[in-house]
Chain A
Amino acid sequence: MSALFAIFVFPGFLFLSFLGTAVEYIDRKLYARMQNRIGPPWFQPYADLIKLAAKEDLIPEEANPTMFKIMPVIAMTAVLTAFLHIPLWNSTPLIALDGSVVIIVYLLTIPTLTFFLGGWHSASLYSMIGAVRALTQLFAYEVPLLLSILAPALLAHTWSISEMSEFYSKNPLYALTNSIGFIVAMIALQGKLERIPFDMPEAETEIVGGTFTEYSGRLLAMFRLAIDMETVVGASLIAAVFLPFGLHFGPAVGFALYLVKILGILLLLALLRTVTARLRIEQMVIFCWKYLAPAALIQILLSLTLNWIVK
């Protein structure tokens, strides 16, 4: 019973979707304020979701209905599962496994794959181009993201995210050495979430709705909720790996600190989105492999050197 409660209510599905919509609102509001707009009211994400859920699901005749319908569900499930592995206000996540870092990164790749498959199976030209772009992008940001998370893991001598948090909260100064990795991870996360400047898979002025062109109604609502959740999960992952501070002050303070960390990360993501224009797909691949991946490698080198010195 308590397991079901954990999966569906707290810190599972309900909590995550609530946090996801709240984060979407804050992101949109920040984006709007930075653009000199008023921005949406607080209930806008819920209104959007309710409106979408009330609409008819249209499935294109040419599309593969099973794949088309199942992809949003898989995206949401994968994100939720990843969330259960991440420690939030202390260093123990709901599911603590050895090698949870690898599991989380793997689970976070699945939503992008579902975007690709969903777009591909929509059998629409715009979706297909969007799908191909989503996959191309995946190869560009995924490696820098993994490398940037690898460096702190090397420093902590563990593949378990809870042990990593434990290690860094005991030696907070070590966490400061990971700042290059932090920047790389933030930019890669922006790519993972397909936000400006990396929103080529759904660039509306080029390919209409990109991968989601043919999606409507509940299925689109699910995809959007999955993306909102992914934002929270990605931010939580970065908070757990790069900002493991204040984990020993009890649940109340810890939780407040967790929210502050998420908001800080969100602010940076929104700022990046405000001040940049959309890149072209090949510009993004070049940027990721030329600058982001080497930066992550430098971080790894730094960690290895530090390990060698401390030993």
Chain B
Amino acid sequence: MRRGSIVRITIYGVIAGALASLVAVVVPWLPTSASEEMDRITFVFWFTTVICIGIFAIVMAVIAYSILKFRAEPDDERDGPPVHGHTGLEIVWTAIPTVLVTAIAIVSAVVLAKNDDVGNNPLRIAVTAQQFAWKFEYPGPDKVTSGELVLPLNKPVKLTLHSLDVIHSFWVPQFGQKSDAVPGIETTLTITPTKLGSYSLVCTELCGLGHATMRAPVSVVSQADYEAYLKQEASGGDAPGGSNDPAAVFTSAGCGGCHTFAPAGTDAQVGPDLNQLASDAQAAGEPVEDYIRQSIVDPNAKIAAGYQAGVMPTAYAKSLTADQIDALVQYLVKGQK
């Protein structure tokens, strides 16, 4: 290999590396971090990116150089030199990648250990997932539950995840951390929020037809606001936004993800139109209140014309309290014309 070709291929490599670095810098690859864990994930991400850009640049430089330099004329029928290999070179390109991936693995393992470490006194919040809604149960004497995840700033949180039906997955992009909620086992997740603000929790494991709509609001607030939130939730059972407020239950249980219901302002068309329940009940030959209650706790018992059994989640009898179901039934009855 002559000196001139080394210089040229180096130039190609630098150009390829610069272009790749430009793409890496200009494009907003990661969401703005809002947790200590995401800060560390961001670090591993860029550590890996630097190594990968190096490898990418070398491969691209060799391809580009070969195409430009070694391209044969169309009528050139000669062969290249009969080189069968080079043991030294083969050892080099076995050893160097081994070292690089080992380095990435070590950094990753250290970060993983730190991201799993929740400290001695975390805030413990129980997360329950079901098709297609999230429920959060906060610690404290009042056992507050809500459909919104509110976290105090800079306090390590240990989430314990459960699922009532199929597998779901908890992800807030800005927090980085993700874990499936699996029926039958408990999984955990550690998050230490570092930035005030509102975020969105999305389900990332395909869980049925409402999967895309299975989201929940998340906010990070000051410790004082967090305590105020819990107090308000605890006292305001029947008040607007409280745990028995039927409009809030309708929203947090995810009804609007599949159903149209004018009072709640939803227009999804996966399941039957809830404004028409009176006529559906008539068709089923049942009093409207009984029909609605049965359809919530045992949705496959009666199926409205034009819809399939086995589609609506069956876990509401478990996930909603008797008071909440009563309130929801009344809310839906009132919504009939």
To the question of whether A and B form a pair in one complex, the answer is no
Q: Which residues of A contact B (CB under 8 A)?
A: none
Q: Which residues of B contact A (CB under 8 A)?
A: none
